[in-house]
Amino acid sequence: MEGEGCAVTAFVHPLFLYISAMEKPYLALSPEVRAALQAGMPVVALESTIISHGMPYPRNVETALRLEEEVRGHGALPATIAILGGRMKAGLSEAEISYLGKQGPRVTKASRRDLPVLLARGADGATTVAATMAIAQMAGISVFATGGIGGVHRGAAQSMDISADLQELARSSVAVVCAGAKAILGLALTLEYLETHGVPVLGYQTDEFPAFYSRSSGLPVDYRIDTPLEAARIMQAKWGAGLAGGLLITNPVPEAYAMPAGAAETAIAQALAEAERQGIKGKAITPFLLGRIEDLTGGQSLEANIQLVLHNARLGAAVAAAFHMPE
């Protein structure tokens, strides 16, 4: 098919040539993040939908700032990612993080498909796992820590609701540290989808895929790893061998903050039934379920959520540090 490629280049629009000649015009790295990446220092990406849609104000802002401190305290530089004024930003100021937290769900929840429209309009957006991974890859950041990823929704056979996070894991070469996925999703289906798309699922000091609020799901991970260095070696091998795409490093919620599986499941069942009754669909469903579960579990889930994200930020920093360590 190479001959056909030549024919195509003859018709490339001049605007495209102009844009590709410039240095990623829609991407804006903070000076600190830019310097760290240029120097080959470890950087950990953090998402912003978790700030706007994942937690209530002001705990969301407090948590986002604490996450940055945890990353710094464990040997890496944090780069919180969001769309602000039509630019993909990596490395936000405290004022920018507060702004996203105060806006909450009023700011657009931005997945990959939303990016071109927000950039063209000079708008703001809080990036999901999918969009954060895409931007991290453009910036050259290899590790990203978050709470939970999106996945295949229960009933996806009918609704076709599969988070774009999973496709992004298949395409962007970034390691994502998370506490698994919430049981609002079909966890077995989510693992099947990841397998189909060639995404390695690693369990950090666990043999089981963690279920966000609880440490176990009854489902095995593909491989257990016990140290950040093992994770770093697998990342180096994957990308070194030319196998593009992401990896999932799953880190169970600390024992002290795990919720009894039954308590979470009752709240999840009720939240799912309410969503169904109210006809909530598309990008609104995940934030709706997260919010309802939090109300129904009386704040216990929020505490677990905060603690597991902090835990993931520490592991993300350690993995990034190991990844950047000279041989």
| Amino acid letter, 295 | D
Q: Is 178 helix (H, G, I), strand (E, B) or coil?
A: strand
Residues from 158 through 187 that contact Mn ion (CB under 5 A): 161
Compute how many residues bind Mn ion; rule: CB under 5 A.
Answer: 1
Q: Which of 109, 182, 238, 283 is catalytic?
A: 182
| Distance between CA atoms of residues 56 and 33, nearest Å | 28
| Distance between CA atoms of residues 126 and 47, nearest Å | 8
Closest to Mn ion by CB, 124 vs 161, is: 161
| Contact criterion met (CB below 8 Å) for 208 and 221 | yes
Given the rule CB under 6 A, which of 17-25, 28-36, 43-51, 116-124 is the region that contacts ligand PSU?
43-51
Closest to ligand PSU by CB, 110 vs 221, is: 110
Should residue 292 be labelled a site residue for ligand PSU when binding is judged by CB under 6 A? no
| Contact criterion met (CB below 8 Å) for 118 and 124 | yes
Smallest separation, CB 319 to ligand PSU (Å): 19
Cα angle 138-6-2, degrees, rounded to a multiple of 5: 85
| Contact criterion met (CB below 8 Å) for 307 and 321 | no
Strand-pair partners of 201:
248
Residues from 58 through 117 that contact ligand PSU (CB under 6 A): 111
Smallest separation, CB 77 to ligand PSU (Å): 21
When CB distances are held under 5 to 8 angstroms depending on the partner's kind, the choice from Mn ion, ligand PSU, none that residue 165 binds is ligand PSU
Closest to ligand PSU by CB, 42 vs 148, is: 148
When CB distances are held under 5 to 8 angstroms depending on the partner's kind, the choice from Mn ion, ligand PSU, none that residue 214 binds is none
- 109 classed as catalytic: no
| Distance between CA atoms of residues 178 and 174, nearest Å | 13
Q: Is 42 helix (H, G, I), strand (E, B) or coil?
A: coil
Should residue 150 be labelled a site residue for ligand PSU when binding is judged by CB under 6 A? yes
| Contact criterion met (CB below 8 Å) for 308 and 50 | no
Closest to Mn ion by CB, 109 vs 324, is: 109
Q: Is 212 helix (H, G, I), strand (E, B) or coil?
A: coil
Compute how many residues bind ligand PSU; rule: CB under 6 A.
Answer: 18
Closest to Mn ion by CB, 191 vs 258, is: 191
**Total residue length of the chain:** 327
- 182 classed as catalytic: yes
Smallest separation, CB 50 to ligand PSU (Å): 4
| Distance between CA atoms of residues 232 and 150, nearest Å | 24
Q: Which of 290, 302, 306, 319 binds ligand PSU (CB under 6 A)?
A: 290
Smallest separation, CB 182 to ligand PSU (Å): 5
| Contact criterion met (CB below 8 Å) for 170 and 197 | yes
| Distance between CA atoms of residues 230 and 116, nearest Å | 37
Smallest separation, CB 236 to ligand PSU (Å): 26
| Distance between CA atoms of residues 48 and 83, nearest Å | 9
What residues are annotated to the active site? Answer: 47, 182
Interface ranges with Mn ion (CB under 5 A): 161
Interface ranges with ligand PSU (CB under 6 A): 47, 49-50, 54, 111, 128-129, 147-148, 150, 163-165, 182, 212, 283, 286, 290
